[in-house]
Structure 1
Amino acid sequence: MGNEGTRVDVDGHLDWGRLVDDLNRLLRLRTTPIGMKRFATVADMEAVPRVRRPQAIHTMDQIVGQASRNGWTVGVTKDDFVGDQCAAVVGLHPRDDDWLAGERYAGVWYSTPDDAAAHQAAMDLPSFGTHEAVVVSPLASGRLDPPDICLIYATPAQMILFINGLQWTGYRKLEWGCVGESSCADSWGRALATGEPSLSIPCFAERRYGGVMEDELLMAIPPSFLPTVVDGLAALARNGLRYPIAPYGVTTDARAGLGHSYD
């Protein structure tokens, strides 16, 4: 995927520090890019360098926020979560009948039990029964080498350029959905389940408990795509298509601006 040879270390691994530096240089991200990785056993999770274990009960949004806002490496099991919803979205709880019913959401987020159940059925979830723990960590730390997915928070302007970079080579139309509440299923849930780039509008819980800012979107993306994104962003920048996007003026003659890019 892209020119990975320019971002590979002496051991043949992706150079996470350089990838993150490139993303920050090209997009001026204000939130730490992080990785998420599943581990078959708790012992494997606890072997991750400098991993922290929660001392309280949390949402998964908070755990992701501890990595992306505080720069921590944090490992969790299903027992660390306030409810089954968080555990299911990272594959630590089964998609069983009780979970699919979604009774606790009826009358809170959805009008009827049928609406709540329809929401649960619509969520994208990774496999269950393959792992006991999940770790999140800043990508640049290299502690998850490689992570299963990378999580990139960005403003809409940064995010459309990120997507443009992804589409620079091997173009294809990207299509996503929105389940509403629990939209982490649209990002890390879907990316873990499908191995595809997955964009989401972070939900109320992600913003209230995970520290996600009101102008941020979230891209969950397998790490193999990142060199392609960075190469594409660099190519766009050489063409004058870069962040920040300078306003041209809504009443100015557009020909001069467009001519610079397309002539």
Structure 2
Amino acid sequence: MNRSEMAAKLEAILRLDTRPVAVKMYVNSQEMPKKPLNFKLNICQLVSMARYAGKANAGVPEKMVCSMGAACVGLIKTPDVFTTGKAAVGPYSRDEKAGRKFMENTFKLGDSGKKYSGIMVAPLESADFEPDVVVIYANPAQMMRLIHANAYETGEKITADTVAEAALCSSIGFAIAKGKPTIGFPCAGDRIFGGTQNSELVFVAPFKEVERIIRNLEETAKGGFSVYPVPPNMMWTPTMPPTYTIQETDL
């Protein structure tokens, strides 16, 4: 199954509002198939361009603003302001102790140092590179389908440990490091800068797992329970106001 077929199946089965997105990290940014845009922006904006507008773009830390997002995917070493917890004080925690724990609970590849120098983001359907991970924005009912599909052969759960900080980038880093799918609750920045909607969660899976998940989406649909949209049960008699209820005299 090629990438275009994968994207088409995911969009059709899940009835996604936006495109699945391919993401690849590069140790050498000179190997990326595109040059970064000539202004600074965040990773969530690159993903938004891909999923909404079908645009492929490259990113390097020199052309980024969000240090947390860059740290999560290993484009920079995690800055001290995060490891000490200082950055969380006020917005997310009452003191540095809580802030430090908060930041520890946000998965960051940069905690063990800088690992990459570039990131490519594109719609899965047209990506001209082999992705490390695939990003899908979905509502909770669509997410249910993805969870069931992932669990189909083994019953394995998807971990969604989160403090809702840098969820997109943290989930990308987690999926790369652990080789497992994960679910994130989009952060304030993703909503402000990336246009993420109130109804959306983010699912990130290693690319090598996507074909299996698609097969299992097809298999689980055969049971009739794990489907989207979930059909409501209409086999019951409703109660209506007398003025809207058929009376004996109407028959």
TM-based fold match above 0.5: yes
What is the distance in 2 between the residues matched to 1:239 and 1:204? 37
Deviations 1:178-210 (A, max 9, x none): 122322354212112211101011111111111
SS where residue 69 of structure 1 aligns?
Answer: helix
Deviations 1:37-91 (A, max 9, x none): 111212112xx1xx35223222222122122222111111111221421210110
Q: Counterpart amino acid of 1:66?
A: M
Answer yes or no: is 1:231 the counterpart of 2:215: yes
User: How far is the alpha carbon of 1:220 from its aligned partner?
Assistant: 0.6
TM-superposed CA distance for 1:251, in Å, is 6.2
- In the superposition, the TM-score normalised over structure 2's length comes to 0.85
Matched, 1:22 2:9: yes
Give the match for residue 97 of structure 1.
80
* Higher Cα Rg, which structure: 2
- Structure 1's consecutive aligned runs of 4 or more residues displaced over 6 angstroms after TM superposition are none
Identity %: 25
1:40 aligns with 2:27: yes
For 1:197-231, what per-residue CA distance to the aligned partner results, in whole angstroms no more than 9, with x for missing partners? Answer: 01011111111111111111111100111111111
Query: Aligned partners of 1:244 and 1:37: how far apart in 2?
Result: 31
SS of equivalent to 2:109 = coil
Q: Which whole-Å CA distance do the structure 1 matches of 2:119 and 2:170 have between them?
A: 18
The partner residue of 2:135 within 151, 157, 168 is 151
Number of the residue aligned with 1:220: 204
Q: Distance in 1 between matches of 2:19 and 2:169?
A: 21
Match for residue 62 of structure 1 among 45, 61, 67: 45
- RCO higher in structure (CA 8 A, sep ≥6): 1
Corresponding residue number in structure 1 for 2:162 = 178
5 Å matches for 1:1-263?
Answer: 7=1, 15-45=2-32, 48=33, 51=34, 53-126=36-109, 128-145=113-130, 147-184=131-168, 186-241=170-225, 242-248=227-233
1:96 Cα deviation after fit:
4.8
What do you get for the CA RMSD once the two structures are aligned? 2.0
Pairwise CA distance, 1:106: 1.6
Deviation string, structure 1 residues 93-119 (Cα, Å, up to 9, x no partner)? 113534412423322222222222222
| Partner secondary structure for residue 141 of structure 2 | helix
SS in 1 for 2:229: coil
* 134-143 or 168-177, larger mean C-alpha shift: 168-177
The 1:249–1:205 alpha-carbon spacing in structure 2 relative to 1, beyond 3 Å, is: farther
SS in structure 1 at match of 2:204: strand
Q: Secondary structure at the match of 2:203?
A: strand
Give the drift of 1:27: 1.0
Which of 239-248 and 158-167 deviates more?
Answer: 239-248
CA distance in 1, matches of 2:235, 2:194: 37
In terms of mean alpha carbon deviation, does 211-220 or 167-176 score higher? 167-176
Partner of 2:248 in structure 1? none
